[in-house]
Amino acid sequence: MRLRVRYAECDPFGVAHHSSYVPWLEEGRTELLRTTGVTYAQLEREGVFLVITKLELKYRRPVRYDDLVEIRSHVVGGSRIKIRHTYEVALVERLGAAPDPSDPAIPSDGVCAIASSELACVDQNGRPRALPGWLAS
């Protein structure tokens, strides 16, 4: 999943504000789910809600306005009621070109931030419930 960093997502220091990454991760795991043939919108209509219980982010290098970034999301575990993801936010294009590997402002692997999250499955009233079988690990 790729997205272009919006002007509104950047701050006076000229880089993407650290809060902007959080909706990107959400979009990353949403698109990952879509590849299984089910959308989160469908889950909600069936009374299955996933709420975040834990989130960790490590910011290695800033990304900037108009950068094209790739959000790489992975399911790394979970249980009958929880799902764990990890994420990489990788720079794929800056100023209309592939990132320059000799630029010290960019990590050599292009990964500018890493993150992990834990989601819990709840019903419409916020009470814990089991994940649908095909989602549980």
Which residues lie near a second copy (CB under 8 A)?
4, 6-14, 17-19, 22-23, 26-27, 30, 39-42, 44, 49, 51-60, 62, 65-66, 95-96, 105, 126
Q: Write down the least CB distance from residue 134 to a second copy, Å.
A: 18
- Helix, coil or strand: residue 20: helix
Please, which residue, 30 or 79, has the CB nearer to a second copy?
30
Q: Write down the least CB distance from residue 74 to a second copy, Å.
A: 19
Please, which residue, 59 or 70, has the CB nearer to a second copy?
59
Please, which residue, 7 or 134, has the CB nearer to a second copy?
7
Chain centre to alpha carbon of residue 83: 14
Q: Write down the least CB distance from residue 86 to a second copy, Å.
A: 14
Q: Write down the least CB distance from residue 118 to a second copy, Å.
A: 9
DSSP state of 18: G
Largest Cα separation within the chain, whole Å, is 52
Looking at the chain, list the stretches that DSSP marks H as alpha helix, in order from N- to C-terminal side: 21-34, 40-45
Q: 88, 72 in Cβ contact below 8 A? A: yes
Cα–Cα distance for residue pair 101/110, rounded to 1 Å: 8
